[in-house]
Structure 1
Amino acid sequence: MAVTLRQLAVFAAVAEHGGFGAAATALGLGQSSVSHSLAALETAVHGEVVRRATPVRLTPLGELLLPHARATLTAARGFDAAATTYAGTAATATISLSVPPTVARGLLPGLLRLWHERLPQVEITVFEAVDDEIAQWLESGTVDASFLIDPDPFPVGGLHVATDAYEAVVRTDHPLAGEPQVDLADLLDDPLLVTTSGFVAPLEHLHATAGVPYRPARHIRELATVLSMVEAGLGVAILPSLAAAMLPDALTLVPLRPRLERRLVLTGPTTRPWHPSVVTLRDLAADLAGTSGGRRTRR
């Protein structure tokens, strides 16, 4: 099958940007070149991969092939980087990194500053995603690296960057605000607002450990919506302490008893070689994590 990397790059860009013009701009190509490359790809695979509409939509064939296209492009970038590194040349690179929202706001800014200072030639594109999406994106090749929460087993080559704990989110005028620590049972009088973006299982575990019933008043996907509802006085929430960076002035965190921690692990994929720049980013992050008990497994 005569499929080229350029055709795959065009396909991925059209899918990501939702149109031919936007994809052309992102790739630095003319729109006619984008259209021609995509048409050639569709000829090679014997079917349409997108529906020409506004915005462009993937066909079932496109949905099937897009993860493979992204994985191939990721592997090709890694191949080029490995060859350049072997030759002793400092190469520019673009690394895609997926992170949960709390990590993006509470932990990532410091790492981005460190990486930019030490590796100015490496551009890092950050994608926020919920826990399930993060693992899928990493293994499919959509991203080069990810922050995983409590991965089991611990990934080979992964770096334990930090640990934080789940705490109660309440209004600053709540009776429990300002307490040094509260029992989970103390929250039972308030409606519990739970985000479904990766927090249901740990909260179920936390309640089981404490021996108190898990009775969420509402399940909400978006973390920002949960915080808005707590701010409006509609209940309380339980979130990792890194969420402190996301709280408005009207909300505060209160440590919980029992304490439930989570590990934040920076890693590359498990099913293919890491991009060389991801290895370098991990090693730089290890310097920062070393002061907070982080650890790295060998790769």
Structure 2
Amino acid sequence: MLPQALVRVRVQSPGVSLRSVEVDVDDATSVVAAGRVDLAFGVDYPQAPIPRAADVALLVLATERFAMATPAGRPAREGPSALHDFADEPWILPPAHTSYGRAIRMACRRADFEPRVDHTVTDTASTLSLVAAGLGVAPVTELMLALRRDGLTAVPLTDRLERTIVLAHRRDPAPQPGVRAVVGAVRAAVATGRDG
């Protein structure tokens, strides 16, 4: 979403000066509240909500449903599978202290098992490479699969496991014209992604 939005801002609002800084999605509200950035992408999970701040608004961009990434070429499951069907598999997950790691582990516990995490990885591209190499399974969304599809099969899940992509910005003072231009460009990038 970000590159497409930034190109759109550069073309449509050439007077807006842009700088991007990578921040942890779990810290989106705190970095905006502290004034370190004007906008931050975050990820909200029903099982592990993003921390809220009174002076930070969260604009919902998209809600994604998880599937399970498995190595391509292994015997395919017929149709959607339950999360519990992967209970005996080695898992590739982020650390348990992250919102994502906590949300997935809680979903597994609700499905009556504790995932055996063989590889603890925070980087999505690395996770997908490990799955493609046959070293485990990992939950994925369509946005994650944009990084890599080769060597993977995405098995739909019958369990409703979702995440919401949000954009955090300060409520007060009201977003400046440049910030509003970036928000509009991000919304347009999300809409284009849904359509195409």
The whole-number CA distance in structure 2 between the counterparts of 1:264 and 1:114 is 20
Contact persistence 1:160–1:289 (CA under 8 A) = no
Of the three residues 111, 134, 144, the one matched with 1:233 is 134
Number of residue-to-residue matches in the alignment: 186
Between structures 1 and 2, the one with greater helix share: 1
- Quick one: which amino acid aligns to residue 80 of structure 2? Q
- Quick one: which amino acid aligns to residue 181 of structure 1? P
Of the three residues 82, 86, 101, the one matched with 1:183 is 82
The answer to whether residue 99 in structure 2 is matched with residue 169 in structure 1 is no
The whole-number CA distance in structure 1 between the counterparts of 2:10 and 2:181 is 12
Of the three residues 91, 111, 115, the one matched with 1:214 is 115
- Quick one: which amino acid aligns to residue 74 of structure 2? H
| TM-score, with length taken from structure 2 | 0.76
The answer to whether residue 139 in structure 2 is matched with residue 245 in structure 1 is no
Contact persistence 1:241–1:253 (CA under 8 A) = no
Structure whose alpha-carbon radius of gyration is higher: 1
> Aligned-pair distance for 1:120?
2.7
Of the two structures, which has the highest relative contact order with CA contacts closer than 8 Å and spacing of 6 or more? 2
The answer to whether residue 26 in structure 2 is matched with residue 132 in structure 1 is yes
The whole-number CA distance in structure 1 between the counterparts of 2:59 and 2:193 is 12
Tell me, which stretches of 5 or more residues in structure 1 are unaligned? 1-106, 294-299
- Runs (4 or more) in structure 1 with deviation over 6 Å come to 290-293
Of the three residues 5, 13, 22, the one matched with 1:119 is 13
Alignment of 1:195-214 (within 5 A): 195-196=94-95, 198-214=99-115
Contact persistence 2:10–2:16 (CA under 8 A) = yes
CA RMSD of superposed structures (Å)? 3.1
- Quick one: which amino acid aligns to residue 117 of structure 2? P
Q: 1:204 to 1:232 in 2, by over 3 A?
A: same
Contact persistence 1:131–1:148 (CA under 8 A) = yes
> Aligned-pair distance for 1:231?
2.2
Tell me, which stretches of 5 or more residues in structure 2 are unaligned? 45-49
> Aligned-pair distance for 1:244?
0.8
Q: 1:226 to 1:158 in 2, by over 3 A?
A: closer
